[in-house]
Structures are given as structure tokens and as C-alpha cells.
């Protein structure tokens, strides 16, 4: 059995996430995180091995939360399937606006910056994207069943993947400085892409 951590691991990972997200992996050191948290370098290295180990722990935790955010928003959204998708897109736009300096999404940023160097980033991101798509599918499935009777599983999966792609695209556009009105227009049009025979169904 490993020794219990002698520090607030949740607080350390929160701080590490913020620093890696705002400054990137290469421009964030263990010393930076140690100064921000008061956790000594030795404790960090003992717990995570090196900076990459700390980053991957923080990154996986961030991605799990991100997938949970997508699922919770879309599954709990009231109304039709189309309305639920629009609610998800609006939540993404609101979240982008709340981020300092339009820093985007740590997952998307890290794929671009680290995917070639850290295969773990790609595998974690792949699992996260699949979890997001599964959350969307969970919300769309009842409406699709009501609308067409017999579900085209491949089409439902493709629509769920497309919704996640649009959500990620909204994040990238926000990072480029695109304003809320334009993002809202894109979200409105994209939410209309569901099949008309079930998009307006309200599942009980």
C-alpha cells in the first residue's frame, strides 16, 4: 500500500491544471506549481515521478470533468432534442466567455501541443471525446426512437459525434476572438442539423 499523500492532492491538481492551461506544458515548471501551492518539489516528484506525470494526472482529471460537464448539460436539458443541443452549445459559449484570455480548452490545446510527444494525451483525449459522444447519444436516443421507430444506430452515433465536433469548434472560434453573437449564430444553425423527423420530439 502506498503512503498517503501529505498534501491536498485536489488543490495541487487544481493549481497545476490552471498553470498548464494558462501557460502550456513547456512554460510551466514543477517549481511554479510548488510556489503556487506550497507543496514542496520533493513531494511532487515523490507523488508523480516528474512534471509529465503531474501533467497527465491533472490532464486526465480535467478531461473527466469535461466529459461529465457535456453529459450533465445535455442530458438534463428540458424540451426537444434540438433544444437540448442548443442548450449544450450555449453552455459551451458561456464557458468560453468565462475563461481568462480566451484560453480555450486544455484538451484541445494539449492535443496540438503535446500529441506527438505524449501518446497518453491522445489516448485520454480519445476516451474523453467518446464519453462526450456517449452523453449526447444518451440524450438523443429517446427522441430518435419516438421519431422513427427503428433506430439507425450508425446515424445516431454520427449525429452525436457531429454535435461534439461543433462544440469543440465553438471553443476554437472563441479562442480566435470570435464574439458571442457570431458563436450564437453558428450554434443556432448547427442545432438545426438533426433529422427533422425526430429532432423536435420530446421524450417523456
**CA separation for the pair 4, 2 (Å, rounded):** 6
**Domain edges within the chain:** 59-191
**Tens digit of pLDDT at every position of the chain (204 positions):** 445 567 789 999 999 999 999 999 999 999 999 999 999 999 999 999 999 999 999 999 999 999 999 999 999 999 888 999 999 999 999 999 898 888 999 999 999 999 999 999 999 999 999 999 999 999 988 877 765 556 778 888 999 999 999 999 999 999 999 999 999 999 999 998 887 766 676 655
**Cβ–Cβ under 8 Å, residues 77 and 87:** yes
Non-local (6+) Cβ contacts of 204 within 8 A are none
Q: For cell 509529465, what's the residue? A: 52
| SS3 state of residue 130 | helix
How many CB atoms neighbour CB 96 within 10 A? 21
Q: Which fold has domain 59-191?
A: Tetracycline Repressor; domain 2 (1.10.357)
Which of 110, 97, 96 lies closest to 62, judged by CA? 110
Amino acid at each position: 500500500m502506498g503512503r498517503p499523500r501529505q498534501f491536498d492532492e485536489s488543490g495541487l491538481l487544481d493549481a497545476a491544471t490552471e498553470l498548464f492551461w494558462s501557460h502550456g506544458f513547456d512554460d510551466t515548471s514543477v517549481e511554479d506549481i510548488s510556489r503556487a501551492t506550497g507543496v514542496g518539489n520533493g513531494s511532487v516528484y515523490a507523488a508523480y515521478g516528474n512534471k509529465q506525470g503531474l501533467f497527465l494526472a491533472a490532464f486526465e482529471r480535467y478531461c473527466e470533468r469535461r466529459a461529465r460537464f457535456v453529459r450533465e448539460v445535455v442530458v438534463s436539458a428540458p424540451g426537444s432534442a434540438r433544444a437540448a443541443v442548443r442548450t449544450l452549445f450555449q453552455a459551451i459559449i458561456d464557458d468560453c466567455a468565462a475563461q481568462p484570455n480566451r484560453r480555450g480548452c486544455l484538451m484541445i490545446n494539449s492535443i496540438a501541443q503535446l500529441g506527438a510527444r505524449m501518446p497518453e494525451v491522445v489516448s485520454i483525449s480519445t476516451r474523453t471525446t467518446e464519453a462526450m459522444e456517449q452523453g449526447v447519444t444518451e440524450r438523443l436516443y429517446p427522441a430518435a426512437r419516438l421519431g422513427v421507430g427503428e433506430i439507425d444506430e450508425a446515424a445516431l452515433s454520427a449525429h452525436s459525434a457531429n454535435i461534439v465536433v461543433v462544440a469543440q469548434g465553438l471553443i476554437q472560434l472563441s479562442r480566435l476572438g470570435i464574439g458571442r453573437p457570431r458563436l450564437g449564430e453558428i450554434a443556432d444553425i448547427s442545432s438545426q442539423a438533426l433529422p427533422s423527423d425526430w429532432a423536435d420530439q420530446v421524450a417523456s
